[in-house]
Structure 1
Amino acid sequence: MAKMNIKKGDTVVVLSGKDRGKQGEVLHAYPAEGKVIVEGVANTKKAQHPDQQGQNGGFVTREAKIDVSNVELICPSCGKPTRVGHDVDANGKKARVCKRCGAQF
């Protein structure tokens, strides 16, 4: 699997699927699987059993993993969906770069 350009805490927009057009923050990234969990996107219901005696079970709504190819990063400076480039700054550190405006983040 190729390296993912999207990390935890990034704001992304969903490109395809039932939640196309929704924006949210990446809650968790799974680089080995090439998947991410985005806040408020791909909600599923899961049956929850009571953990201890006296607690109630029921259905819990939670976010499911979606493929990283179905989301695109939103640039923090220009606020538009963009592809991600990589650049080396003067100190020799790698940084992600917006392909639209050229801003580093």
Structure 2
Amino acid sequence: MSKLHIKKGDIVYVNSGDDKGKTGRVLKVLVKEQRAVVEGINMVSKRTKPSAKNPQGGLVKMEAPVHISNLNPLDPKTGKPTRIGRRESSDGRTFVRYAKKSGEEIK
């Protein structure tokens, strides 16, 4: 498996689909499926049976996963979508992600 350019907690821009142009925070990354769940993006209605937690039952709105090819991280400097690069950190032991547009490090 290859490394993904999206991590949990990143703020991403949606490139395509019904939510094109929207931004949101990544809640979960599904590595095997190469998908991510983004807050407020790709909302679907799920039917639920009545339970102790939800005694009424009915429809519940929740986020569905989006393929990561449709997401771009936002540049921390400009706030616009950017591509991601990897380079060695100053200590030379690990790699850090950086925005290709501004060269700024992405935390």
Q: TM-score, normalization: structure 2? A: 0.91
Change (3 A) 1:56 1:74: same
Is residue 103 from structure 1 mapped to residue 89 from structure 2 by the alignment?
A: no
- Secondary structure of the residue aligned to 2:105 is coil
Name segments (4+ residues, structure 1) moved above 2 Å. none
Change (3 A) 1:83 1:53: closer
Amino acid corresponding to residue 52 of structure 2 in structure 1: Q
Name the residue aligned to 1:55: 55
Percent identity of paired positions between Structure 1 and Structure 2: 39
C-alpha separation in 1, matches of 2:9 and 2:81: 15
CA offset digits 1:10-36 (Å, max 9, x no partner): 001110111100110101111111000
- 1:70-85 matched pairs, under 5 angstroms: 70-85=70-85
What RMSD in Å do the two structures reach over aligned CA positions? 1.6
Unaligned runs of 5+ in 1: none
| Alignment of structure 1 residues 17-96 onto 2, 5 Å | 17-52=17-52, 55-92=55-92, 93-96=94-97
In the alignment, structure 2 segments of 5+ residues that lack a partner are none
Aligned pairs, number = 105
Report deviation, 1:68: 0.2
Deviates more, 1:32-41 or 1:54-63: 54-63
